Chain A
Amino acid sequence: MTARTSRQCAIAGIGEVPARRYHPAELPTLLQLATQAIENALADAGLDVSDVDCLLSYGTEKTDSVEVSSVLGMTLDNYVDIAGGGSSSETLVSIASALIRAGAARTVVIYRALHGHAGIRTGSGPAWNTSVQTGLIQAYGVFSAAQQFAPVFASYLAQAGATSEQVAHVKAVQSRNAAANPKALYPTPVTVADVLASRMIVRPVLHLLDCCVESDGASAIVITALDRARSLRQHPIRVLATAGRVSRPSPGYYYRGELTELAAKRARQLVFGPAGLTPDDIDVTGAYDCFTFSTTMLLERFGFCEPGAGGEYVSSGAIELTGRRPNNTSGGQLCEGYTNGLSLVIENVRQLRGQADDFCPDGARGSHTYDYQPGGCRQVRSAEVAMNMGWRTPSTQSAMIMARD
């Protein structure tokens, strides 16, 4: 490791309100979801709300830091709310680490709460003012993320020689992972054939089951200096390297440059170099799964397989719980629930702690059966190093490498 231990940061606590699709009469407010997830993460770390001096959040419909800190009685030295979307989680961990190293913050909580099902559904919010300079996509009927990314995915299939069937393995594998996750919103295993038989959202690339779930829930994590984390309740998970919101050369990805080029090309240099690691050293991945295709492209472009071999990689068994490098072991955003990537970070923290909350009788005490049948275990054997990869658009990514202390 190149970084000095004394200046390293660690994730010391995790918490969530598991994703659901609430009936309106039972729907918690966004503020309730956010504060509950934060309280759960602090309890996990063995800290109190009075210990928190910094809040970082994203996608802050009615849950910005001022509201959350007011309700929880926090006095903050730093708070930052950023525009939301995928890639925010790793980006905010990067900012949290920088603030802690600079001495500007001691205990940082990152959170995300959303009404992805009960609130505004994807693509159906108010139309924004659009100009030809900012990308005249809405006037051509392109609103939702599925509609925005589908041309890139179609081009990826054509170029890489990957097939829809290969990419559908991402969903099938994650659905089996979800079957070992009591929190999962969709815990029933599906097959590749089920994915391909589900109705088309955008032909020829996105079937319904290629798309993430829209759910109501919240996630939170606590970050502090490594030496302090060592005195707290949980085994610390070190943050080895982060790259937050990295852009590709032509951010207007439709219009110029190589259509399927990702920011991952640059982001991978920014994390593997400083961590002193290569893809071979990573035991578990969390590759942003707004769609099966984003996961496939990220795993390929971050170097977990040869260029063009993404479809082969995700259908080879490598990403399964029994494989070389399991991915999105909670079931991810395709099955467990959706909080723009923070839930994928929480899952990898659990994996590195050896505390996957599966159906093993003594799982909570870190004793696992490693029997990966549905309804059984999802703890990965000897998980020491994990990597998360975020995706906002094809031209904006983020990444983070974590390790068990």
Chain B
Amino acid sequence: MTNTVIEYRGVQIQIDELERPYFTAAAEGTLLVQECTQCAIPRYPPSARCLACASSQWKWRPSDGRGRVSACVIVERGVRAEFEAPYAVGLVALDDVDVTDHPEHAVRILSCIRGRDGGRLSEPVPDGSPVEVEFEPLAEGFALPMFRMA
């Protein structure tokens, strides 16, 4: 078991073997989604077993990183020097992850939400607003998916 710990803005991100491809693919500009090869239900965060059928067989599949944001909020009072307020946080559902047949397995990614120009949002954006992925470098060979207004 090879684990990597990367410090990012004062936060220790611990990356194990299962998670490693998620971050290394991000460094190459690809957002990966984990999908069960037994029941085809996608999942996030990554886990060793399918939360729907408990299978431990899965694969990574690329997403084009386009999605819709919901529950967007603006943090106005920061509590850490590394995260200067205001900044937006929201939940992103990916357009190419189809959960129409099993809505209880909807995939949502919690992320900072940046403006179209990569800058700060000063007001929450409405549910359903389109976003697209971008990648924040973490360390050589690793990056963190992040979303901006499309």
Contacts and interface: CB of A to CB of B under 8 A. Distances in A.
A124 interface: yes
6 contacts: A133-B46, A136-B45, A140-B89, A147-B79, A203-B74, A254-B110
B17 to A, nearest CB: 11
B144 A139 contact: yes
Interface in B52-109: 70-80, 83, 86-87, 89-91, 104-109
Contact of B79 (A143, A205, A250): A143
A3 B138 CA distance: 58
A256 B104 CA distance: 7
B135 interface: no
Contacts of B112: 140-141
B2 interface: no
Interface residues of B, number: 51
Contacts of A152: 71
Given A121-B79, A133-B18, A141-B112, A203 B123 contact: yes
A355 to B, nearest CB: 38
Nearest to B138: A139
A158 interface: yes
Of the candidates B5, B23, B91, B127, the one having the most CB atoms from chain A within 10 angstroms of its own CB is B91
Which 6 A/B pairs are nearest by Cβ-Cβ distance?
A151-B71, A123-B79, A141-B83, A203-B74, A200-B76, A150-B73
A132 B46 contact: yes
Contacts of B75: 141, 147, 150, 202
Given A141-B87, A202-B75, A255 B5 contact: no
B76 A201 contact: yes
A129 B80 CA distance: 16
Contacts, number: 137
A142 B72 contact: no
B139 interface: no
A139 B9 contact: yes
B82 to A, nearest CB: 8
Interface string A103-132: 000000000000000000111100111111
Of the candidates A129, A130, A141, A252, the one having the most CB atoms from chain B within 10 angstroms of its own CB is A141
Nearest to A143: B79
Interface in B96-143: 104-112, 123-124, 127
B95 to A, nearest CB: 17
Contacts of B87: 141
B19 A151 contact: no
Interface string B18-52: 11001100000000000000000001111100010
Nearest to A133: B45
Contact of B74 (A121, A137, A202): A202
B133 to A, nearest CB: 13
A154 interface: yes
Interface of A: 121-124, 127-144, 146-147, 150-152, 154-155, 158, 199-205, 250, 252, 254-257, 259
Interface of A is mostly: loop
Given A140-B89, A200-B77, A257-B104, 5 more contacts: A124-B80, A132-B23, A133-B45, A147-B75, A150-B73
B72 to A, nearest CB: 7
Contact of A259 (B13, B14, B71, B80): B71
Contacts of B110: 135-137, 140, 142, 151, 254-255
Nearest to A125: B79
B11 interface: yes
A143 B87 CA distance: 13
B127 A254 contact: no
Given A154-B124, A155-B70, A256-B108, A139 B89 contact: no
Contacts of B77: 146, 199-202
B45 A132 contact: yes
Contacts of A122: 79
Given A129-B14, A202-B77, A151 B90 contact: yes
Of the candidates B19, B80, B144, the one having the most CB atoms from chain A within 10 angstroms of its own CB is B80
A202 B108 CA distance: 20
B11 A130 contact: yes
A202 B91 CA distance: 15
Contacts of A124: 79-80
B93 to A, nearest CB: 10
Contacts of A129: 5, 12, 14
Contact of A151 (B47, B79, B86, B89): B89
B129 to A, nearest CB: 13
Contact of A255 (B73, B74, B90, B107): B107
Contacts of B13: 130-132, 136, 139
Contacts of A143: 79-80, 83
Contacts of B91: 151, 254, 259
Contacts of A131: 13-16, 19
Nearest to A211: B77
